[in-house]
Amino acid sequence: LAVFALIATSSILLISVPVVFSSPDGWSSNKNVVFSGTSLWIGLVFLVG
């Protein structure tokens, strides 16, 4: 289950981070979402490892 969550989170971040950076107002309004997703991803890496 943790491996599936890691794969899903990686896929979501792979798509969402470039979209956030390319949108005109994206970083300032979505920075908390990016940081939360990255923190979740790091936690899952340690959990799986």
| Continuous segment of H or E residues that includes residue 25 | none
> pTM for the complete prediction?
0.78
Q: What is the pLDDT of residue 17?
A: 87
CA distance 25 to 41: 24
> Coil, strand, or helix at residue 1?
coil
> Which residues are within 8 A (CB) of 37 and not within 5 positions of it... i.e. 6 or more apart?
9, 12, 13, 16
Contact 44, 5 (CB under 8 A): yes
Over residues 11-39, the pLDDT tens digits come to 999 998 888 888 887 778 888 888 999 99
